[in-house]
Amino acid sequence: MDAQEIFEQWKAADNLPDYLQDQLDTLGKDQSWVEDAFGQDINFGTAGMRGKLEPGTNRINLFTIARVTEGMARLIDEKGEEAKKRGVVISFDSRYHSREFAQYAARILATHGIHVYLFDDLRPTPELSYAVRHLHTYAGINITASHNAKQYNGYKAYGEDGAQMAPENADRLFEFAQKVENIFDIKADQVEKLRQNGSLQLIGEDVDEAYLEELKKVTVDKEMVKANADKLKIIYTPLHGTGKMLYDRAFRQGGFDNVIPVASQSIIDPEFPTTIKPNPEYRDVFEPGFKLADEVNANVIIATDPDADRMGAAVRKSDGSFQVLTGNQIATLMSYYLLVHLKESNKLSSDYEIVTSVVSSALPFKIAKDFGIKTKHVLTGFKYIGEEVDRMNKEKDGKFLMGFEESYGYLFKPFARDKDAMQGALMFAEVASYYASRGMTVFDGLQEIWQKYGVAYEITRAIEMPGIGGQKKMAELMSKLRNEHLSEINGTKVLKIQDFLKKETIEDGKVTPLEGFPESNVLKYFLDDETWVALRPSGTEPVIKAYVGVNRATIEEAEKAAEDYQTALAELLK
């Protein structure tokens, strides 16, 4: 069927909620919208799926959620009775329809005889990751669109290790979902029946207590924190999301009593009324925090995104203004602190390892080399960091110190296998305590690191390619660049190219195998001014991520150079 026929089929469905029927009537007047919303099925990538909250097969709604969940149910049916008995744990965030989608997914799975643990209220993504491991479930589901704008929602699928579902199972799940003949007739028994027969179980405080107990292990120098935390006032904002559920208990048990919430952003609100996009990399989300920090004389602001897997921070500079740190700068500060602590406490050994993605800052690796510890690059996606943790545990050849991604994701203790903003917030508060113990601000500490190791600066941009033709355009652009073997970017010579899809390295005209990575549609270029750039189509959004990392003598020079390279990449991708 074509898009118009599928649209008419949706209009004729007799079980559409009123809000979806109203949207169909209104949006359906635009034929271009019909083509985009019904012309293809929404993409299910390695991180699940994400899209606008609208009717259509290429959108997020009750029925696309149902179809994918039916795919998961059939996958678990195929795995057998043990997998069904272990079951699935489900959480959700503060977005529109998140609770509704989570409960519907729970009903579908439980109707298949699969045991379901459903959180009684919204919870952070990392707690869901932890719960999979804690409850020994076969899989996990989180209804969230992370840091996207209010118009979006999404679906993240997790494997039994607590990391995002491995490609082979994710692909199989999607195959099953594609075979669903009628998405309006997926069986889902009523909650009361499923509760009474024991197949649907509510969880909440029991898992909270266990997760909070694990969070106590994140702090590495409790005595230093105890002696210096009172010197700090920390402003915290959950950006209207799930961080509110646990932040107070997490900070207090970590020794941080002077944590002041941003009241306007501590209201659970799917409108995200204080910001256009609740992403802690954007300065505007910190504006209410800046005002509060000035009122109470605080120097540190910590923000977690609505599903509390990403953590951002702003710190006061010597002129009194606030600097919003990049994810890479936060990771640099935390990795340096951890290594200094290990060295000063005579615990530093060469088998410690820092793990990060191929598109994250090189500066923490430079610091790690100076301290004599191991480093490991993996592909983007925290599941790859989790795989490296598992490998180290299995082969007994390393000790995990931290993992991070430039996109504001950090992990220190792998009781969760996804990025954990609660862990990140606690570690950043400890870093602030460390610099307070030395009579310094966090921003002073960053300057100290730059003076010692040089200024590294990175920018990530998402170049949008929306619409039904967006995926095709992204594929064509990446194929074109892959075949061209660029010799220069922004007038600077390319020394080496890493192609993670073809798994090859091109250097001095020679092609050699690129080993140690699975296939991924990523191109990374190394230039002769110590700059690196990378391009990666997103698996969940119609965007190509463009990454730039530069090294310069000053931050001002670095920021300008990075912007110039981003402009050049935008031209390449037109």
Consecutive H or E run containing 335: helix 327-344
Report the distance separating Cα 367 and Cα 448, nearest Å: 13
Looking up tokens 């750039």 gives: 533
Asked whether the beta carbons of 525 and 494 are under 8 A apart, the reply is yes
Within 10 angstroms of residue 82's Cβ, the number of other Cβ atoms is 8
What's the DSSP call for residue 540? Answer: S
The separation between CA 35 and the C-alpha centre of its own chain, rounded to angstroms, equals 30
User: Which residues does residue 49 pair with via DSSP β-bridges, in sequence order?
Assistant: 155
Asked whether the beta carbons of 230 and 436 are under 8 A apart, the reply is no
Distances, alpha carbon 570 to alpha carbons 269, 489, 544, in Å: 35, 11, 10
Q: CB pairs under 8 A, 24+ apart, for 59-62?
A: 60/145, 60/152, 60/153, 60/154, 60/155, 61/20, 61/97, 62/17, 62/20, 62/97, 62/100, 62/101, 62/104
Asked whether the beta carbons of 383 and 46 are under 8 A apart, the reply is yes
DSSP letters of 63-132? HHHHHHHHHHHHHHHHH-HHHHHH-EEEEE-SSTTHHHHHHHHHHHHHHTT--EEEESS---HHHHHHHH
One-letter identity of residue 211: Y
User: Please, is 428 exposed, middle or buried when counting C-beta atoms within 10 Å of its C-beta (0-12, 13-18, 19+)?
Assistant: buried
Token pair of 136 as six digits: 């020994």
Token pair of 164 as six digits: 């995002």
Within 10 angstroms of residue 441's Cβ, the number of other Cβ atoms is 18
The separation between CA 1 and the C-alpha centre of its own chain, rounded to angstroms, equals 35
- Range 499-522 burial, b when 16+ CB lie within 10 A, else e: bbeeeebbeeeeeeebeeeeebbb
State the catalytic residues: 146
Q: Determine what percent of the chain falls in helix, strand and coil, rounding each to the nearest 5.
A: 45, 20, 35
One-letter identity of residue 322: F
User: Which residues does residue 158 pair with via DSSP β-bridges, in sequence order?
Assistant: 140, 164
Sign of the CA dihedral running 337, 164, 141, 64: positive
User: Which residues does residue 494 pair with via DSSP β-bridges, in sequence order?
Assistant: 527
Query: What length does the chain have?
Result: 574
Within 10 angstroms of residue 495's Cβ, the number of other Cβ atoms is 14
Consecutive H or E run containing 322: strand 322-324
User: Which residues does residue 493 pair with via DSSP β-bridges, in sequence order?
Assistant: 488
